Structure 1
Amino acid sequence: MEEDWIKLSLEFEKWRMKYIDLKNYMKGNVFHYTSAIALESIIRNKTLWVTKSDFLNDKTEYMYGINLIKQVFMKNEYKYLNEKLLSIINRKFRLYLARSYIFSTSENSDSVNLWGNYSKHEGYNIGLSLNKIFNRTWDMKVYVTGNKIIEDGSIEKHYIPRKDEHKSIEMYPGKVIYDSKMQENTIVDIFNFLEHISEMFYSFCNTEKIDKPGMNNLIWHYNNAFGSAIHILLNQIKLFKNPVFAQDEEYRIIFDVNSNLDVKKYRQFKGVFIPYIEVVFGESNDIRGLPIDSITIGPKNSLDIAAKGLGQFLKSQGYKISSNPECKDKDKLLIKKSDVSLRY
């Protein structure tokens, strides 16, 4: 029996790698569209304001994922999975909503839709290097500010640990999935795996020769495999979004924060108090600022002095800048103008 569960563990590790894109993990650039006021604050403070997941613009998006899971469950017949599974998923997902924060970016570096939604075509977009973010976290230079003042008078800091060393805060990136068929296939695949390990479990339970220690060991293996598969499912549906939003080409950086940490802050937006956390990038290897590769000026901001003023501001904050797209100096931040052409 033990050999069978070892075999299953190896099978599980191979299966779960489908949902871990190591080849493309934290590579490339993503773009955050924002206003001039927000850009100034981000640059000066080397800080990103990361919004609580259930306060994002699309208030229905997480119900979309849960409802899709229900539809897939009802459409397929399972011998060992029942509606109790849906209750488990709902409960775990609510716990996730209570502690997760999302920084939304896009893979589109010059989107007319996002310029309009987030900066009235007059703002800026920040080109963030995912690789530089990853390296900064690996160097233990990224932290979330707490609300407490410690003995030396400084603000409490909660550092984001290295990959696979998660304690109080976990950070992970993900490309949003809009393809409804891909979403459904993912859920079916995970449910099929849950059905497979449940069949193994109940088959072993019916073995008369199993003793109490053997049963305890069996239950431990089963719960571990089942819980891990549910965790993969939850991580996937955090990235599911209605196909009507596909033009956003969203890429998320998700922060899963221990609910015992006193880090939640509030800002006002259109008369609503929005919870968020402050993610700060400390200096690393003589890098003074944020892990930024470029800043693009919005299509309606046609003033000749816009690029000049932005360049002087960035220099005052310790950045080396360039306006030449062909520049090969990786330490320089590129300032450019949007190529979007507007008639109004």
Structure 2
Amino acid sequence: MEGKAMRNQIIHLKTIERNTTLYHYTQIAGVQGILDEKSFWATKSDFLNDPREFSYIIEVIQQMSGSVFKNKEWKELFLKNIFKEGDHFVYEKNKEFFVLAFSTCSDSITLWAEFGNETGYNMAFDSEKIIKKIAKSNAIAYHGYVVYALEEQRDYILDLMQKKIPESFGLSFADIMNRGMTSESDPVFQKACRMFQKAAKIYAMFFKQEGFTEEREYRFVFKKSEGMNVLFREKEGFLIPYIKITMLESDNKLPIRGITVAPKNDSDLARKGMEYYLHRHGYQVPVELSRIKLRY
């Protein structure tokens, strides 16, 4: 418990403000699952669109270590100790994570391309209310904005390394490193390395390459628990594992603010059918066409 409490104190994830909107891009089956079953699908983390999900942070740490550590011996000692678990630096043994993604962008050509220009829909939710509904019947491990800017990612790591962790020991960063140089097995140095490692694993879930910035993602991370049912869906000839994030039936309606139809899903029936579908479920919210105009 002490270790968990300490990690929570040194971790800072930026969460969404009140009275804002979260957008969920999906296809028609996703819309039906959300409204008919009151459930979202959270994808297993190593099946997301970025092949370096949850491991990109290793590159960030390695890149910044050259400028942070003026002393080459300090750098080698630090990297050796935080990466000594090898491949398990990011993926802890026997732990699986699933990600549910939203966006703060109401009409993104990048996300339409991923979720179907021809068949996609974008569901707008009241951010505060949807978070409460998800949390009411699901154990959210973490949620917050994804960080894309390399400079901001470095600031998170530096704050962790040089301020938050040393302050928790009542020491300076230099004091901790000097203890490690005196004896690599020094308990304070080893505990500081483990704290950094565990905190970095959490940040790893929210760091992505700058090329994905336009997604403006807000994500929820769920840890697979014993007895949790993992399902599979087909995508382009392969299977993707996911879990259902189900909200209580007693909650009645979801906090939907509206739905947008994808740019190339331009049949009049796409909008008309969705309006009638929502009406049958008791929702009186606008259904709009994407403002993005595409020729092909």
Question: Same fold judged by TM-score > 0.5?
Answer: yes
Aligned to 1:265: 231
Alignment of 1:340 onto 2:281: no
| Contact kept? 2:19, 2:127, Cα under 8 Å | yes
Using the alignment, how far apart are the partners of 1:59 and 1:26 within structure 2?
32
CA distance in 2, matches of 1:52, 1:198: 39
Q: Find the partner of 1:106 among 103, 106, 115.
A: 103
Is this contact kept in 2: 1:177–1:239, CA < 8 A?
yes
- Is 1:322 paired with 2:285? yes
> SS of the counterpart of 1:101?
strand
Q: What is the number of equivalent residue pairs in this alignment? A: 276
Q: Is the 8 A contact 1:53 1:97 kept in 2?
A: no
Deviation at 1:202, TM superposition (A): 7.4
CA-CA distance at 1:54 after TM superposition: 0.4
Q: Identify if the C-alpha distance between structure 1 residues 55 and 282 changes in structure 2 by more than 3 Å, giving closer, same or farther.
A: same
Give me the whole-angstrom Cα distance separating, in 1, the residues matched to 2:255 and 2:26: 16
Stretches of structure 2 lacking an aligned partner (at least 5 in a row): 1-5, 167-171
Q: Secondary structure at the match of 1:322?
A: coil
CA contact (8 A) 2:104 2:217 kept: yes
- Aligned-partner residue type, residue 311 of structure 1: E
Match of 1:147 in 2: none
State the superposition RMSD in angstroms: 3.3
Q: Secondary structure at the match of 2:206?
A: coil
Aligned to 1:281: 247
Q: CA deviation at 1:82?
A: 4.6
Q: Deviations over 1:286-317 (max 9, x none)?
A: x4233422211122233334333212212222
Matched residue SS, 1:73: helix
**Cα deviation 1:14-62 (Å, max 9, x = unaligned):** 9737x2446x467622212222233223321111111000011121233
String of CA shifts for 1:108-144, please: whole Å, max 9, x gaps: 1111222122112442111133211232245x3x2xx
1:161-240 alignment runs, 5 A limit: 169-193=139-163, 194=165, 196=172, 199=175, 227-240=194-207
The CA distance in 2 between the partners of 1:61 and 1:172, in whole Å, is: 15
Name the CA shift for 1:15/1:41 in 2 (closer, same or farther; >3 Å): closer
Instruction: Tell me if structure 1 keeps the 8 A contact 2:90–2:204.
Output: no
Q: Distance in 2 between matches of 1:15 and 1:336?
A: 43
CA distance in 1, matches of 2:222, 2:283: 29
Report SS of the residue matched to 1:61. coil
Bigger drift between 236-245 and 33-42 goes to 33-42
Counterpart for residue 3 of structure 2? none
Instruction: Return the TM-score normalized by structure 2.
Output: 0.78
Report the equivalent of 1:330: none
Matched, 1:33 2:25: yes
The corresponding residue for 2:256 is 292
Separation of aligned partners in 1, 2:58 and 2:261: 38
For the Cα contact (< 8 Å) 2:102–2:218, is it kept in 1?
A: yes
% identity of equivalent residues = 25
AA of the residue aligned to 1:249? R
Query: What is the identity, as a one-letter code, of the residue corresponding to 2:199?
Result: I
Cα distance change of structure 1 residues 275 and 308 upon mapping to structure 2, 3 Å threshold:
same
Residue 278 of structure 1 deviates from its aligned partner by 0.7
Alpha carbons 1:48, 1:278 under 8 Å: kept: yes
Aligned partners of 2:200 and 2:214: how far apart in 1? 24
Matched, 1:60 2:52: yes
Shift of 1:90: 5.0
- CA deviation map 1:218-252 (0-9, x unaligned): 96x88776655443322222111111121222221
Secondary structure of the structure 1 residue equivalent to 2:249: coil
Q: CA deviation at 1:174?
A: 1.7
Q: Residue 119 of structure 2 contacts residue 265 of structure 2 at CA under 8 Å; is this kept in 1?
A: yes
Equivalence for 1:245: 212
Match of 2:124 among 109, 123, 127: 127
* CA shift in 2, pair 1:59/1:174, >3 Å: same
Give the 3 Å change call, closer, same or farther, for CA 222–315 of structure 1 in structure 2: farther
**Alpha-carbon distance in 2 for matches of 1:93, 1:39:** 32
Structure 1 unmatched ranges of 5 or more = 1-11, 143-159, 161-168, 207-217, 324-334
